[in-house]
Structure 1
Amino acid sequence: MAPDFTVKGSNGKPLTLSQYRGKLVLLEFGYTSCVDVCPVSLAMLAQARKQLGAQADQLQVIYVTVDPERDTEERMRNYLRAFDPTFIGATGTPQQMAKVRQDYGITATKKPIEGSKDYIVGHSSYLYFVDSAGKLRALLPYGRTADDVVHDVKLLLKN
Structure 2
Amino acid sequence: MNKVFAYAVALLVIVGLTIAALVFTGVLSGPGQKSRSGIIAGAPQIGGPFELVNHKGETVTDKDFQGKMMLVFFGYTFCPDVCPTEMQTFVQTLDLLGEDADQVTPVFITVDPERDSVDVVREFVAAFHPAIVGLTGTPEQITQVKKQYRAYGQKANSEDKEYYLVDHTSFTYLMGRDGSLSTVFSYGTTAEEMAKVIREQL
Provide TM-score, normalisation by structure 1.
0.93
Q: Percent identity?
A: 34
Identify which of 7, 13, 27 aligns with 2:52: 7
In structure 1, give the amino acid aligned to 2:48: P
**Partner Cα separation in structure 1 for residue 50 and residue 74 of structure 2:** 14
**Partner Cα separation in structure 1 for residue 159 and residue 115 of structure 2:** 19
What residue number does 1:72 align with?
Answer: 117
**Partner Cα separation in structure 1 for residue 161 and residue 59 of structure 2:** 34
Identify which of 73, 78, 100 aligns with 1:55: 100
Identify which of 144, 149, 154 aligns with 2:189: 144
Provide the secondary structure at the position in 2 that maps to 1:119. Answer: coil
Superposition deviation, residue 86 in structure 1? 1.1
**Partner Cα separation in structure 2 for residue 103 and residue 135 of structure 1:** 11
What residue number does 1:102 align with?
Answer: 147
What residue number does 2:83 align with?
Answer: 38
Compared with structure 1, are the counterparts of its residues 48 and 117 closer, same or farther at alpha carbon in structure 2 (3 Å cutoff)?
closer
Superposition deviation, residue 10 in structure 1? 0.6
In structure 2, runs of 5+ residues without a counterpart are 1-44
Identify which of 62, 74, 82 aligns with 1:29: 74
In structure 1, give the amino acid aligned to 2:126: R
In structure 2, give the amino acid aligned to 1:79: F
In structure 1, give the amino acid aligned to 2:104: L
Q: Which has the larger radius of gyration?
A: 2
Per mean C-alpha deviation after superposition, the further-off stretch among 116-125 and 83-92 is 116-125
**Partner Cα separation in structure 1 for residue 48 and residue 190 of structure 2:** 26
Superposition deviation, residue 74 in structure 1? 1.1
Runs of 4+ in 1 over 4 A off after TM superposition: 113-117
In structure 2, give the amino acid aligned to 1:45: F
In structure 1, give the amino acid aligned to 2:75: G
**Partner Cα separation in structure 1 for residue 189 and residue 99 of structure 2:** 22
**Partner Cα separation in structure 2 for residue 35 and residue 18 of structure 1:** 32
String of CA shifts for 1:92-111, please: whole Å, max 9, x gaps. 01111011111111111102
Identify which of 153, 163, 181 aligns with 1:118: 163
Quote the RMSD (CA, aligned, Å). 1.7
Aligned length: 157
In structure 1, runs of 5+ residues without a counterpart are none
